[in-house]
């Protein structure tokens, strides 16, 4: 079956532009997570969605970052007025929900800000 | 608040030697613990998880980890390293209260020498 799909796989943009990153989770997965992976920094939690509950946005680094999940499926992470420090790999994961349930990861979007 | 510390950002072993990757966690409640592996340009894949059943957990590719509450540790081991084990390994913790947020360690890159 299809896994978690992220698009684009690579994105290069100029400083100050807005970018949208897309995540298609595994069908039926109620939980969806976004992480940022910078070189040597591990995975930084950004936000997660669980069903119809209010998302946990506690990891978003600034108000330039936002995310939405439409219809309980596809999610979009938006970064406004990009800065060079936003350059990283953005990973999306989905799961059936629950703290003990493993997450299934996409291959990520590599974002480069010039 | 939960946290994860992985000791050693890089570990190098010879092919056939024991692999030991260290992980210590901090959690205010009994945790759920995970090890994930990441190959170049890919997302993370689950190796194994601890969910309060057996303290010795066996995973894929011959890896296992032991949960030691008294030491707040969840070290990953494999008796005999293979070249294909070269990758980055992440330890992660999540709690069953207050949501499903997962915190990842900074990662340990494993090098396997022929």
User: Residue B40: which residues within 8 A CB-CB, separation 6 or more?
Assistant: B87
Q: For A69-88, what is each residue's pLDDT tens digit?
A: 988 799 999 999 999 999 99
For residue B61, the model assigns a pLDDT of 93
Residues of A in contact with B99 (CB under 8 A): 48, 50, 56, 99
What pLDDT score was predicted for residue A42?
Answer: 83
Compare CB distances from A43 to B51, B94, B104 and report the shortest one's residue: B104
Return residues 49-88 of A near B (CB < 8 Å): 50, 56, 58-59
Q: Please indicate whether residue A85 or residue B96 has the higher confidence score (pLDDT).
A: A85
A90–B contact, CB cutoff 8 A: no
Tokens at B13, concatenated: 């072993």
Which tokens in the block code for residue A52?
């119809």
Which pLDDT belongs to residue B97? 61
| Residue A103 confidence (pLDDT) above 70 | yes
A33-71 pLDDT tens trace: 999 998 877 889 999 998 888 898 989 999 999 999 988
Is cis: bond before B101, omega within 30 of 0? no
pLDDT value for A1: 55
Place of tokens 């439409």: A70
Whole-angstrom Cα distance, residue A19 to residue A56? 21
- Tell me whether residues A106 and B107 touch, CB distance under 8 A: no
Confidence tier at B98 by pLDDT (50, 70, 90): low
Among B90, B100, B106, pick the best mutation site for testing chain A contact (most A Cβ within 10 A): B100
Residue B54 CB partners (closer than 8 Å, separation 6+): none
Q: Does A6 have pLDDT greater than 60? A: yes
- Mean pLDDT lowest among A20-24, A59-63, B92-96: B92-96
B8-58, pLDDT tens digit by residue? Answer: 999 999 999 999 999 999 887 778 899 999 998 888 999 999 987 788 999
């Amino acid at each position: 079956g299809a896994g978690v799909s992220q698009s684009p796989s690579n994105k290069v943009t100029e400083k100050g532009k807005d970018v949208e990153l897309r995540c298609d989770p595994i069908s039926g997965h109620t939980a969806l997570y976004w992480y940022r992976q910078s070189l040597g920094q591990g995975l930084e939690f950004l936000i997660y969605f669980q069903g119809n509950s209010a998302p946990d946005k506690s990891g978003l680094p600034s108000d330039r970052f936002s995310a939405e999940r439409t219809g309980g499926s596809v999610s979009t992470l938006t970064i406004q007025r990009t800065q060079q420090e936003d350059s990283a790999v953005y990973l999306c994961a989905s799961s059936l929900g629950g703290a003990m349930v493993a997450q299934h990861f996409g291959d990520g979007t590599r974002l480069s800000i010039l | 608040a939960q946290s994860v510390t992985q000791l050693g950002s890089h570990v190098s072993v010879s092919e056939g030697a024991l692999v030991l990757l260290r992980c210590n966690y901090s959690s205010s409640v009994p945790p759920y613990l995970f090890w994930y592996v990441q190959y170049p340009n890919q997302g993370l894949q689950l190796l194994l998880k601890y969910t309060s059943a057996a303290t010795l957990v066996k995973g894929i590719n011959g890896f296992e980890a032991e949960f030691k509450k008294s030491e707040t540790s969840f070290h990953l081991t494999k008796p005999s390293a293979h070249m294909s084990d070269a990758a980055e390994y992440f330890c992660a913790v999540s709690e069953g209260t207050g949501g499903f947020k997962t915190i990842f360690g900074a990662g340990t890159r494993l090098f396997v020498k022929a």
